[in-house]
Amino acid sequence: MAQYSKGLEGVIAAETKLSFIDGEKGILEYIGIPIGELASHSTFEETVYLLWNGRLPKKDELAAFNDQIRSRYALSKDIAKLVLEMPKTGEPMHVIRTLVSALGVFDSKPNAIDLPSVRDKALTVLAQTPTMLAYYQHHRKGTPIVPPDTSLSLAENFLYMLNGKKPTPTMAKALDVCLVLHTDHGLNNSTFSARSVISTESDLYSALTAAIGSLRGPLHGGANEGVMKMLSQIPTVDAAEAFIQDKLAKKDKIPGFGHRVYKSYDPRAKYLKVLAKQLAEDTGNKDLYEKSARIEGVMEREKAAKGIYPNVDFYSATTYHCIGLPLDLFTPMFVVGRVGGWSAHIIEQLADNRLFRPSVDYTGPHDVRYTPISER
């Protein structure tokens, strides 16, 4: 007999070899490699290769993969024109969702789902998502477009296109690490959305568009914006404790804390905490980090016993702010990283596909008489 689980909690709906999570022990692995090792030693491009191929690349393989990505940075004339026709008041998550979907309109074979075609299309989306975001940022600010530089890594190139100058090594490394940490995370809501759509034998663009729509929600990827908004409401480091205690007394949720899976410290947050501290000191944002640390101290005292710890969004907010990203580009940067993971799951799903079609527990009435409109 099928058992009902609200929100599908605890239900195993797919098998994967991509990422492993132990929420009780605070473990996250990609293809068996602990996330901390990848964040310390790998790059975003290498991490995507790992997920798409099930192994780390050799030196020549990684060089070829990097070249494939970089050769696709530039937008077609049609997509570039579409970016510049977007309303300047549009929210970037709605804009990037629309533009990723539009890539399918200009693809001569958008519905091809053989694995070589899917990988090829995924490379294009991976390479061009940062370009579309940078172009849109210039469009809405009224500043000149900065074309991509194919000599730069994906993280370096995005910051270069965004700011018109090459980033410092520290800035580029920080963004690259964020992308690595955001690449994959089990069967989260957006990944489930992508796998569910592609299981109908739809197309890559539809699956990624659905995933972006899911990620936008404040209970998913949109939480990092909430963290930054909260930090901006706290005037000083010393005011942080009273602010959080007041929210707890009102039973308000604290952005960046708690996770459906983790009942211990999110391993991604551990790495980001160190990175955020370094960046805050380097960029004159020490108070911002200290507010975060003070909030964490209060929450550890009040909520850690209930398994509520910082999640990936808590310190990613400080990190993104320190590297100069506008608030409403925080979640789109999550998209940039997660495109690699979503695409890996789409490839995995298609390799051994079965249509997702869960049951539903009907709780309504039965045998209700139809009442003619004259009697209602």
Is the backbone of residue 368 left (phi > 0), alpha (psi -120 to 50) or beta? beta
Annotated active-site residue 220? The verdict is yes
Task: Give dist(CA 273, CA 181) in Å, integer.
Answer: 12
Sole residue written with tokens 């899917």: 118
Catalytic residue among 176, 184, 203, 313: 313
Three-state secondary structure call for residue 158 = helix
Catalytic residue among 259, 266, 321, 345: 259
Closest among 20, 62, 17, 14 to 41, alpha carbons compared:
62
Q: DSSP string spanning 98-151?
A: HHHHHHHHT-SSTT--SHHHHHHHHHHHHHHHHHHHHHHHHHHHT-------TT
Three-state secondary structure call for residue 28 = strand
Alpha helices in the chain (DSSP H): 35-41, 44-53, 59-70, 77-85, 92-105, 115-141, 154-163, 169-182, 189-198, 204-215, 223-233, 240-249, 267-282, 286-303, 312-322, 330-351
Q: Virtual CA dihedral for 34, 302, 230, 332, nearest 10 degrees? A: 20
Q: Which two tokens stand for residue 151?
A: 């000599």
Catalytic residue among 22, 120, 149, 220: 220
Q: Are 145 and 135 in contact (CB under 8 A)?
A: yes
Annotated active-site residue 313? The verdict is yes
Name every residue whose Cβ is closer than 8 Å to that of residue 277 and which is 6 or more positions away in sequence: 289, 293
Q: Look up residue 60 and give its DSSP letter.
A: H
Q: Are 247 and 295 in contact (CB under 8 A)?
A: no
Closest among 265, 268, 117 to 183, alpha carbons compared:
268
Task: Give dist(CA 217, CA 232) in Å, integer.
Answer: 21
The residues carrying an active-site annotation are 220, 259, 313
